[in-house]
């Protein structure tokens, strides 16, 4: 008994010419007998009509009366898998779990009966499910080329199906060899050999179809697509060498070979190969062959011939023509290329395809229309004229899906319409519609992508800046990396700097950068956008200067100057900039400050005092609110320039408002040569400190960094004092001893420094190589 699934396997011609015809239809036409198997014909028609529950009841009824090991049982299990596959063709995502579910009837039978006589046929159906899922992915990719996950999944599925098809082909050949080796050829063995031969031939067709499907992974006209088409052509030629001269499979491979030549854009060879094909397969015998003939006309610019052939097939009432998804889709392609095409004729025909072939047929039609739109958006003439399809056709289809309760499909179509719309304002509006549909479908990431993508594509569109900022908000719902949000916010700022949304994006970005401790970048953004008329910027720059290392302040000053290059042309900004520089710029960065109107502010007095250096007159005591900033600034000037220390120390110590003992006070006393007073100051600090070790270390460093010999001598005692309070032999203890010896050597007593270093190396040698090296350098 012959068990064969429908011969037309899975492949794509513009999503049409080589796809199976297992699609739902709303037309309640009578069941036509196609074979001598009544149940097979009925199952096929019920599945085509989308009457899945009825088909399932019929299949289950037959299964109840059949033995699991029988051919009848296997046949019905294959139909059940076909049914489950057809069900999943109508959903938006044919996921891996759906593949497993559609394969489950097969898997269960093989698991229960691993030696089933029809196991190879059952395995063939499992591959068919994977191909149906891959085809579903390809359709989705053509609607949304940016869906890298679907692209990778489709490639994986096609690769897996190809490997399994090759393996199945070998297994079938081995089984035929085994059966042929039997001494007795019973009728059942002969029947099985015939079935295996047909399965072997089907598998060869399937391998070619998989190669053709792989071409749909790449954009039309790309080198990758051309290479994939060449590989499909090579696969077809190889299959022809394995097939007998007269068989249905050979005719099918010849047809697929023509499709491969079309994909290679070699239209002349395609026409020649087609003429050879119809010697074996007359036009009237297979609507796919007729559709292929018309497609060659369309692609070789013989549109008049194509239209003539279409009219001959469809007559005056296209909706009443014989059912053929291939012909219906090629008619749609023809409508899309006609100069007099209007959105009603294209839209109406897409609706008719949905009526004639169900939801899956409609999906394929929409994909062809979207492909046409994309091609137009890439090849549009400079003046925008020419033969163009109106994106509103696709948008209207999307809105209908939304009304029908399918927001995801609606979003996909609306997104395609938005991406291909030439009018900037309409493009932005359609992207908003698409985003709303994606949100309704619980796909905020896709909503963000379409808003951002269209806004960047049409930046002059009304509402583009707002749409892009809305995209950032939606993107946050997907828990992206902070860097992705940062990049999007920067795009909003740089693309629409004059919009009201740039400051909103700027404030958000500043919070993001500040939270990541990137204060300088935040300050630059605030300066660029003049947030709060530069108040936000100046506050962030102030924070950056106060938190930076003194060694980094030169680079920091350069970045701030670059950020304010334009802004300081405004008088009020120049004044505040000078005030800022008075307290936070180093002296060597003050020479190029912008001029400002005369002012009696204390910051200007401080600035003039710093600029004049030794020649400066006395600086009045600062107001209480800037006292600490003024002292800190002048002390930093003194540390950077020893010649100013005495003047600065005298100036500061003359101010009555200063607080009591501090290291800074001790430092000024050292600058004034008041070493004993400095010792008394730090002793008081050590006594009152909760962490005296820190004060002792800071004091030792303070005395040691002075150019006063008495202060340097004092540092030796403080380093020794620090060492006395540390564990003997510890790294910190050794470092304190090294600093003490270094101070002795700096004062000119090299012999004593050498003796100390040698003694410690002999009695308490450090384990750390760096510490040993420092001792050796001091000898």
Q: pLDDT tens, 197-212?
A: 999 999 999 999 999 9
**pLDDT score at 652:** 93
From 218, 238, 237, 236, select the one nearest 228 (Cα to Cα). 218
What is the CA 205 to chain-centroid distance, rounded?
37
**pLDDT score at 59:** 94
For residue 340, pLDDT over 70 is answered with: no
**pLDDT score at 383:** 41
From 583, 692, 707, 17, select the one nearest 324 (Cα to Cα). 17
The mean per-residue pLDDT over the stretch 304-319 comes to 94
Where do the structural domains in the chain lie, given as residue ranges?
A: 517-597, 599-658
pLDDT tens-digit map of 598-637: 677 899 999 999 999 988 889 999 999 999 999 999 999 9
Whether the Cβ atoms of residue 711 and residue 675 lie closer than 8 Å to each other: yes
pLDDT tens-digit map of 352-375: 998 998 888 888 888 888 877 777
- What are the residues whose beta carbons fall under 8 Å from the beta carbon of 614, sequence distance 6 or more? 643, 644, 647
The mean per-residue pLDDT over the stretch 497-507 comes to 95
For residue 5, pLDDT over 50 is answered with: no
For residue 9, pLDDT over 90 is answered with: no
Query: In a 3-state reduction of DSSP, which class is residue 458?
Result: coil
For residue 78, pLDDT over 60 is answered with: yes
- What are the residues whose beta carbons fall under 8 Å from the beta carbon of 202, sequence distance 6 or more? 4, 7, 9, 124, 249
For residue 3, pLDDT over 60 is answered with: no
Element (H, E) at 351: helix 343-379
**pLDDT score at 27:** 34
**pLDDT score at 486:** 95
pLDDT tens-digit map of 258-278: 999 999 999 999 999 999 999
The b-or-e profile of 41-70 (16+ CB within 10 A means b, else e) is: ebbbbbbbbbbbeebbebbeebbeebeeee
Spatial separation of the C-alpha atoms in residues 392 and 343, rounded to whole Å: 7
Whether the Cβ atoms of residue 423 and residue 375 lie closer than 8 Å to each other: no
- Average pLDDT across the chain, whole number: 88
pTM (2 decimals)? 0.64
For residue 309, pLDDT over 50 is answered with: yes
Give 579-615 as a 3 state SS string. Answer: HHHHHHCCHHHCCCCCCCCCCCCHHHHHHHHHHHHHH
**pLDDT score at 392:** 83
What is the CA 266 to chain-centroid distance, rounded?
35
Spatial separation of the C-alpha atoms in residues 664 and 699, rounded to whole Å: 10
- 698's tokens: 């800071």
Q: How confident is the model at residue 15 (pLDDT cuts 50, 70, 90)?
A: very low
Spatial separation of the C-alpha atoms in residues 469 and 489, rounded to whole Å: 7
For residue 736, pLDDT over 70 is answered with: yes
**pLDDT score at 530:** 92
Residue with tokens 């200007």: 604
- What are the residues whose beta carbons fall under 8 Å from the beta carbon of 395, sequence distance 6 or more? 413, 414, 417, 418, 430, 433
* Length of the chain, in residues: 779
The mean per-residue pLDDT over the stretch 372-394 comes to 61
Query: In a 3-state reduction of DSSP, which class is residue 362?
Result: helix
Whether the Cβ atoms of residue 609 and residue 616 lie closer than 8 Å to each other: yes
The mean per-residue pLDDT over the stretch 274-299 comes to 92
Q: How confident is the model at residue 310 (pLDDT cuts 50, 70, 90)?
A: very high
Higher-pLDDT residue of 339, 83: 83
Q: Angle, to 10 degrees, between the axis of helix 602-612 and the axis of helix 571-584?
A: 60
**pLDDT score at 724:** 93
- What are the residues whose beta carbons fall under 8 Å from the beta carbon of 499, sequence distance 6 or more? 465, 466
The mean per-residue pLDDT over the stretch 156-181 comes to 95
Judging by beta carbons within 10 Å of its beta carbon (0-12, 13-18, 19+), is residue 672 exposed, middle or buried?
A: middle
pLDDT > 90 in the chain, percent? 72
Higher-pLDDT residue of 336, 555: 555
For residue 351, pLDDT over 80 is answered with: yes
- 528's tokens: 């660029």
Query: In a 3-state reduction of DSSP, which class is residue 54?
Result: helix
Range of lowest pLDDT (35-49, 87-101, 216-230): 35-49
φ and ψ of 478, to 5 deg = -95, 5
Query: In a 3-state reduction of DSSP, which class is residue 459?
Result: coil
- 776's tokens: 């050796």
- What are the residues whose beta carbons fall under 8 Å from the beta carbon of 301, sequence distance 6 or more? none
For residue 339, pLDDT over 70 is answered with: no
Q: How confident is the model at residue 376 (pLDDT cuts 50, 70, 90)?
A: low
- 599's tokens: 């002012």
Spatial separation of the C-alpha atoms in residues 245 and 529, rounded to whole Å: 76
- 581's tokens: 């520089």
pLDDT tens-digit map of 35-76: 456 778 888 888 888 899 999 999 999 999 999 999 999 999
The mean per-residue pLDDT over the stretch 677-703 comes to 92
Q: How confident is the model at residue 19 (pLDDT cuts 50, 70, 90)?
A: very low
Q: DSSP labels for 194-259? A: HHHHHHHHHHHHHHHHHHHHHHTTS-TT-HHHHHHHHHHHHHHHHHHHHS-SSSHHHHHHHHHHHH
pLDDT tens-digit map of 706-724: 989 999 999 999 999 999 9
The mean per-residue pLDDT over the stretch 14-22 comes to 35
pLDDT tens-digit map of 20-44: 333 333 333 333 334 456 778 888 8
Higher-pLDDT residue of 220, 590: 590
Higher-pLDDT residue of 392, 80: 80
**pLDDT score at 539:** 96
Whether the Cβ atoms of residue 733 and residue 727 lie closer than 8 Å to each other: yes
Instruction: Count the neighbouring beta carbons within 10 Å of the beta carbon of residue 511.
Output: 11
Whether the Cβ atoms of residue 490 and residue 509 lie closer than 8 Å to each other: yes
Higher-pLDDT residue of 735, 337: 735
**pLDDT score at 414:** 93
């Amino acid at each position: 008994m012959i068990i064969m699934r429908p011969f037309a396997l899975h492949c794509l011609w513009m999503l049409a010419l080589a796809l199976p015809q297992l699609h739902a239809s709303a037309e309640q036409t009578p069941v036509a007998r196609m074979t001598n198997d009544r149940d097979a014909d009925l199952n096929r028609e019920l599945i085509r009509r989308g009457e899945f529950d009825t088909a399932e009841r019929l299949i289950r009824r037959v299964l109840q009366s059949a033995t699991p090991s029988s051919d009848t049982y296997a046949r019905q299990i294959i139909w059940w898998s076909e049914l489950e596959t057809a069900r999943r063709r109508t959903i938006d995502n044919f996921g891996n779990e759906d593949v497993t579910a559609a394969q489950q009837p097969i898997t269960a039978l093989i698991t229960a009966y691993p030696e089933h006589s029809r196991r190879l046929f059952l395995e063939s159906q499992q591959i068919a499910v994977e191909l149906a899922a891959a085809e579903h992915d390809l359709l989705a990719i053509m609607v949304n080329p940016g869906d890298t996950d679907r692209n990778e999944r489709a490639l994986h599925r096609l690769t897996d199906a190809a490997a399994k098809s090759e393996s199945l082909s070998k297994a079938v050949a081995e089984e035929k060899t085994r059966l042929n080796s039997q001494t007795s050829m019973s009728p059942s063995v002969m029947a099985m050999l015939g079935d295996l031969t047909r399965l072997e031939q089907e598998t060869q067709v399937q391998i070619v179809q998989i190669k053709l499907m792989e071409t749909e992974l790449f954009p039309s006209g790309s080198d990758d697509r051309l290479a994939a088409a060449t590989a499909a052509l090579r696969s077809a030629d190889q299959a022809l060498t394995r097939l007998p001269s007269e068989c249905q499979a050979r005719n099918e491979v010849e047809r697929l070979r023509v499709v491969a030549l079309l994909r290679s854009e070699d239209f002349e060879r395609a026409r020649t190969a087609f003429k050879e094909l119809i010697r074996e397969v007359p036009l009237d015998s297979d609507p796919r062959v007729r559709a292929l003939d018309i497609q060659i006309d369309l692609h070789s610019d013989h549109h008049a011939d194509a239209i003539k052939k279409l009219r001959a097939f469809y007559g005056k009432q296209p909706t009443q023509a014989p059912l053929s998804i291939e012909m219906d889709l090629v008619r749609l392609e023809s409508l899309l290329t006609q100069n007099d095409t209007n959105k009603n004729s294209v839209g109406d025909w897409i609706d008719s395809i949905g009526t004639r072939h169900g939801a899956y047929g409609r999906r394929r039609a929409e994909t062809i229309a979207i492909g046409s739109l994309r091609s137009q958006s890439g090849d549009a003439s400079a003046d925008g004229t020419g033969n163009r399809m109106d994106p509103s056709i696709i948008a209207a289809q999307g809105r209908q899906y939304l009304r029908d309760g399918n927001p995801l499909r609606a979003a996909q179509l609306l997104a395609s319409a938005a991406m291909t719309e030439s009018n900037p304002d309409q493009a932005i509006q359609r992207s908003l519609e698409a985003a709303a549909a994606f949100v309704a479908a619980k796909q905020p990431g896709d909503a963000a992508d379409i808003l951002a993508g269209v806004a960047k594509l049409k930046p002059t569109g009304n509402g583009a800046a707002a749409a892009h900022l809305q995209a950032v908000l939606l993107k946050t719902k997907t828990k992206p990396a902070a860097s992705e949000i940062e990049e999007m916010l920067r795009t909003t700022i740089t693309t629409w700097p004059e919009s009201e949304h740039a400051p909103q994006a700027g404030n958000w970005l500043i919070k993001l950068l500040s939270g990541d401790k990137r204060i300088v970048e935040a300050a630059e953004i605030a300066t660029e956008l003049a947030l709060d008329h530069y108040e936000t910027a100046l506050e962030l720059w102030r924070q950056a200067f106060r938190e930076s290392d003194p060694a980094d302040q030169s680079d920091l000053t350069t970045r701030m100057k670059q950020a304010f290059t334009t802004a300081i042309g405004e008088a009020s900004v120049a004044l505040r900039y000078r005030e800022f520089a008075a307290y936070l710029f180093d002296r060597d960065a003050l020479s190029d400050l912008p001029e400002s109107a005369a002012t009696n502010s204390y910051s200007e007095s401080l600035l003039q005092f710093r600029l004049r250096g030794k020649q400066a007159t006395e600086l009045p005591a600062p107001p209480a609110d800037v006292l600490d900033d003024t002292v800190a600034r002048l002390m930093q000037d003194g540390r950077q320039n020893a010649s100013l220390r005495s003047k600065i120390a005298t100036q500061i110590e003359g101010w009555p408002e200063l607080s009591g003992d501090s290291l800074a006070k001790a430092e000024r006393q050292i600058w004034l040569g008041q070493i004993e007073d400095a010792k008394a100051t730090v002793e008081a600090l050590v006594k009152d400190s909760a962490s005296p070790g820190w004060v002792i270390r800071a004091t030792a460093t303070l005395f040691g960094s002075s150019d006063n010999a008495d202060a340097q001598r004092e540092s030796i005692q403080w380093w020794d004092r620090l060492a006395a309070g540390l564990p003997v032999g510890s790294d910190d203890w050794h470092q304190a001893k090294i600093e003490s010896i270094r101070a002795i050597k700096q004062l000119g007593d090299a012999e004593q420094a050498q003796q100390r270093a040698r003694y410690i190396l002999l009695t308490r040698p450090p384990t750390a190589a760096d510490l040993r090296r420092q001792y050796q350098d001091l000898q």
